[in-house]
Amino acid sequence: MNDLVLRATGVERVYKQGQHRVEVLRDLNLTVATREQVAIVGSSGCGKSTLLHVLAGLDTPDSGSVELDGVDLYRLNPAQRGRLRNEVLGFVYQFHHLLPEFSAVENVAMPLLIGRADAAQAKRDAAALLEKVGLGQRLTHKPAELSGGERQRAAIARALINRPRLVLADEPTGNLDETTAAGVYELMLQLNEELGTAFLIVTHDTRLAARMQKTYHLSNGGLHLQ
Ligand SMILES: Nc1ncnc2c1ncn2[C@@H]1O[C@H](COP(=O)(O)OP(=O)(O)O)[C@@H](O)[C@H]1O
Ligand SMILES: [Mg+2]
């Protein structure tokens, strides 16, 4: 196993709109090691989501490379890239994206079921993970029956169900009040410790970011260690 989960080298991403060129990422370099906790902070519009999409293999950079587990993502064909992404990465977004008509345990089990795992075992694994994120008493609740913080906890459990080596989180607490947000950070740090999952979180909340081992500031298209 590679000691680095992710290595981005010389990444450039330019949006062209007519005459306009917006250089969002410019010669950006980043490594994330196994078990590392990394936060990237920056103001709205500085390119945080663009960066996560490029790192996740969802948006091809104009130049530079992104390696996941030592494999150059953008040299793979789209099917191979999708497989590598599913093997190595989990995702958490600002909005939970849980499926409204399914219970918490079904939502968390979904990635396993899509991979055609045994349904009963998938639900047992999902229930165990929901227990770990403090939702052992909410297994059969639908998303609408959960609080905002509980939904994010369920979304985190879903991100972890395939045991990814790295979770990419885009403003995971952007929609929560301060106390609930702090609880969700505590949870991610606890899961990092217990499961050894690396976390890369982008946020505009510098106070929460400061809880992570490493914090970078994204500005002028590059990362600067805080
Ligand atoms: N698909 C796109 N086409 C053109 N410009 C885009 C596109 N996506 C994002 N941008 C621009 O790139 C910049 C960075 O956006 P984004 O990565 O969403 O920032 P953040 O997540 O930090 O708020 C913004 O100026 C935005 O307007
Ligand atoms: Mg964003």
Sorted by where each starts, the structural domains of the chain and their CATH numbers stand as: 4-98+149-225 (3.40.50.300)
Q: Averaged in consecutive runs of 10 residues, what is the pLDDT profile of the chain (226 residues)?
A: 89 94 96 98 95 97 97 97 95 94 98 89 97 97 97 97 97 94 95 97 93 97 96
CA distances from 59 to 39, 56, 62 (A): 20, 8, 9
- Per the CB < 8 A criterion, the answer to whether 5 and 84 are in contact is no
Q: 194: which 2 tokens?
A: 């217990």
Give the per-residue pLDDT at 2.
61
Is pTM beyond 0.85? Reply is: yes
Measure 174 CA to ligand 2 centroid, in angstroms: 10
Ligand lying nearest the CA atom of residue 172: 2
Measure 104 CA to ligand 2 centroid, in angstroms: 26
Give the per-residue pLDDT at 16.
92
- Per the CB < 8 A criterion, the answer to whether 133 and 167 are in contact is no
Ligand 1 atom closest to the Cα of residue 218 is 22
Measure 38 CA to ligand 2 centroid, in angstroms: 16
